[in-house]
Amino acid sequence: MGWLDYVWMGVLAVFQGPELINLMGLPIPVTLAMIAAGFLLGIAVGATPGLAGPMAMAIALPILISVFGFSPDALLPVFGFLIGIMKGATIGGAVPAILFNTPGTPDAYMTTLDGYPMTQAGQARKALRVAHFSSASGDTFSDIVLILCAPFLAVLVERYLDLPEKTALLILSLAFIAAVIGGSVGKGLISLGLGLLAAYVGTGEDFYPRLSMGTQTLAQGFPIAAVVLGVLIIGEVFKSLEDLWSEARNRRSPRPPITQSGDQRLRWTDIRRLLPFVARSAVIGTAIGALPGIGSTLAATLGYTTGNTRHARSGARPRFGEGAPEGIAATEAANSSVSGANLIPVLSLGIPGNAAAVFLILAADTIGGFNPGPSVFRFTGDVVNPELVIAFGLFTCMMIANLLNWTIGGAFMRSMGFMSRIPKQILLPVVLLLTLTSIYVQETRMAAIWFAIGFGVLGYLMRRLGMSPLPFVIAFILGAKLEETARQAFAATGGDPFFLVSSPIAALFMVLTVGVILRSTRKSKDLPT
């Protein structure tokens, strides 16, 4: 079987999957319906300050699994819903930033610099159209790069990397994530170390589980849903509640309504002026997204800064920061192009690059039948590789979500302005309740709830100390894989204690690991205090 056969089977798996409903004689596949539902929910979530795509994915995942079960047939509907949320939240995040000068996420802050001035000038709907066009363009470009690069990279890894090299590559990836995320290299490494420590509680190959302190509860290990949702979601809720209490002491008067006027359409002349900024930022965001752990905030900042330099040289008006549509285009194209490229390390290496990718990994691990990594893109002669079919089905889901983005995404996005007015006093308790409910749905034991609250406190403390929880989560997910690969490499090399430097490629990865940490440490020391 060739590539085209697998591509066609992946497309058919989406369009000829289980039927959800029959609409006037036309069968609607469940995967298509889940993509659309996730996409619309994602826009609503992205348009609500205090929420984010990963938060909605985290709450939805246990519920989806309880509905669809653990059979391989559940993979594409669950993936489709999660991808829809990821895509929708990316474009929805521009709504509060443009309309109310309220960035829902750190990367949306750059959108406020030109988006809100356009709103004040009576051009809110045009600003939203610019954001939608730029976001959809960057996202589509990133997905095309993902589809072309992920199989190629996976084949290279599978062909040239053996067990010692794969172990060293995992260590390099974890070190890179720890070095580039968080307030400092030290904080990133501490977060990483805590994640590995939590991953190894109750595990091991002995009859006596490690680090269980003789208790049966810890001997079972920490439930992955409780740990991930606790640190990422409950910790964020606790921190947001504290911020809300602080903001209540300095309550501001509501902003007066702004009258919209002038031409609100996005003309072809506008698109021609925006295209260079969109193209440049799409390339920047895709390159950054392909590196594990960096994320969309840096992409948005670099895209905006690069666009500002080119715009200033041209002498065009208005300038960046004064309501320039080019500023919105440069930011939105950059942060949207990260989402597809972030799945390159997931599908080719099995390494999640951001929080959204974490939940795709969790879905694959929980349901079974799909193990992200180099083996996904392996040909097996005349025998069908079901994981490769799922991979091309996932690519199909992403392109369908892009099609929805281009067709109905803009109109639905512009109608979501009211979501920005939902009080956080109502929103945050609802998120907390839904998160705890989703954990209990998956684990069905009270110990998981207490673990989630405990890790939520840990996530809150990490945020208070300026320490990113993402290295913790990624280390927790990759901890078992790292140990398994290291054990196999140790055995395969005849018990060589220096197996990590026994081959040139593995030694190179370890040298790069040390170099990344030392370079990041030096850069943090050079920063002004």
Residue spans of the domains in the chain: they are 3-19+30-247+273-526
Residue found by looking up tokens 């392909």 in the block:
290
Length of the chain: 529
pLDDT tens string 313-322: 777 778 887 8
Q: Helices 386-404 and 30-46, interaxial angle, to 10°?
A: 50
Q: Which of 398, 366, 370 is nearest to 385 (CA)?
A: 370
User: Which residue stretches of 72-184 are H helix?
Assistant: 75-92, 94-100, 109-120, 124-160, 163-180
CA distance 473 to 181: 12
Residue 122 is given by DSSP the state T
pLDDT at 308 over 70: yes
- Residue 289 CA to its chain's centroid (Å): 10
- Over the stretch 3-51, which tens digit does the pLDDT of each residue have? 788 888 889 988 887 777 777 777 888 999 999 999 999 888 888 876 7
* pLDDT band at residue 528 under the 50/70/90 scheme: very low
pLDDT in tens, 183-233: 578 888 898 899 999 988 887 665 677 777 777 778 888 888 888 888 888
Give me the sign of the Cα torsion angle 99, 127, 414, 132.
negative
